Amino acid sequence: MRPVHGGNLAWAAQLAQCPPSVILDFSASINPLGPPASALDAIASHLTDLCHYPDPRYTELRRSIAQFHSISPDWILPGNGAAELLTWSCRELATLPQTHRLVPAFGDYGRALDAFGAQTVDWPIPLRDGCAIPERERCAITQNRLIPIPATATGGLLLNNPHNPTGQLFSVAQILPLLDQFALVVIDEAFMDFLPPAEQESLIDRVADFPNLVILRSLTKFYSLPGLRLGYAIAHPDRLKRWQQWRDPWAVNVLAAAVGEVVLQDVEFQQKTWNWLKLARSQLFDGFQQLGLNPFPGAANFLLVECEASVELQRQLLQQHRILIRDCLSFAQLGDRFFRVAVRTEPENQRLIDGLAAIFQHGG
Ligand SMILES: Cc1ncc(COP(=O)(O)O)c(C=O)c1O
């Protein structure tokens, strides 16, 4: 079955008739520089803790996250990936008459909202085709475009910043008025850490002012640990106490907790990632443009690219070059006219550009 998330190498390997290990995976937006040594060391030195239950209060982990964000530990709830905390966010959103979200949207939002019977209202992000934007301005339009949600909308809001899959970054100034408009605002900042601190548009600093604000963060993408599962929510302590009562008491395993206690202090890895991303993303962006494709200017570690017949392109890249890109069929608004790729190391990005060039020039 065609995957609805990136990173499904078993499916790709079957199509490419090769072992999964030889496929170069651009479909999951994971930092290629990781996992950092600090994370692997923490895992190795905590293996003996496997015979104990985790601390159900996650005191050390919460202290470490709190220190990183300069907030009180009571405002933090670690989870089994941002995906778990999305579930509890959606349980709360489902109590409101409507939840508004932007589409295309990360596929798991549908899973979590549907699980609690939330009434969802979708607001399309205007893509280029719908905007009649002149060719020369096309690349500039996704940055700081207005959030396409009417001022009359009420209830809950589920927002993703930077937005997956377009890569668009909304500013704090754009989001602030929505906090007065909606009863509950959940902001999924799973990719925010890919921006250097001075460029981030996080609402974490404003959480104490808005009891109706929930921020979700993931540690699986930036630190390249999707198999470990670790994320956290930042929100009013009363809300987080409620979530803790709803869920399994040990949602985060001991190894993930040990990693979370150290990686946020790994300044060297963070700086290395920001340095790499700036150059590697523009390399990929320019490469796509030179091939006549239309990449969206993304703020995170992935790029959405407009092209013809992306599913056929995906098949050719897989079968001829053993490269996997993310098709956009699971995003109803995008379909076969777009693909999404993670930014990888510069030699790997070059392999993708060369593979695409070969397909465009010689049909393979
Ligand atoms: C926008 C967005 N939010 C949340 C997640 C889930 O992250 P985690 O691995 O921390 O559960 C993903 C994963 O792809 C994502 O793309």
> What pairing do the DSSP bridges indicate for beta strands 76-79 and 231-234?
antiparallel
For the chain, the domains span 9-30+268-362, 38-265
Query: Does the pLDDT value for residue 325 go beyond 80?
Result: yes
For residue 116, which phi and psi values (nearest 5 degrees)? Answer: -115, 15
Query: What fold does the segment set 38-265 form as a domain?
Result: Aspartate Aminotransferase; domain 2 (3.40.640)
The pTM assigned to this predicted structure is 0.94
Instruction: For residue 23, give the amino acid letter.
Output: I
Among the ranges given (32-46, 62-76, 124-138, 344-358), the one the predictor scored with the smallest mean pLDDT: 124-138
> What pairing do the DSSP bridges indicate for beta strands 213-218 and 184-188?
parallel
Residue 294 bridge partners (DSSP): 306
Nearest to 216 by CA among 233, 237, 191, 240: 233
Query: Does the pLDDT value for residue 53 go beyond 80?
Result: yes
Residue 82 CB less than 6 A away from ligand 1: yes
Other Cβ atoms less than 10 A from the Cβ of 232: the count is 26
Domain 9-30+268-362, classified CATH 3.40.640.10, yes or no:
no
> What pairing do the DSSP bridges indicate for beta strands 184-188 and 156-160?
parallel
Identify which has the larger pLDDT, 1 or 292.
292
Instruction: For ligand 1, pick from 27, 125, 164 the residue to mutate: most ligand atoms within 8 Å of CB.
Output: 164
Distance CA 161, CA 143 (A): 12
For residue 341, which phi and psi values (nearest 5 degrees)? Answer: -130, 145
Residue 193 CB less than 6 A away from ligand 1: no
Percentage of the chain modeled with pLDDT above 90: 90
Distance CA 105, CA 184 (A): 18
CA–centroid distance, residue 190 to ligand 1 (Å): 6
What is the structure's pLDDT at 132? 37
Residue 323 bridge partners (DSSP): 24
Distance CA 297, CA 3 (A): 25
Residue 161 CB less than 6 A away from ligand 1: no
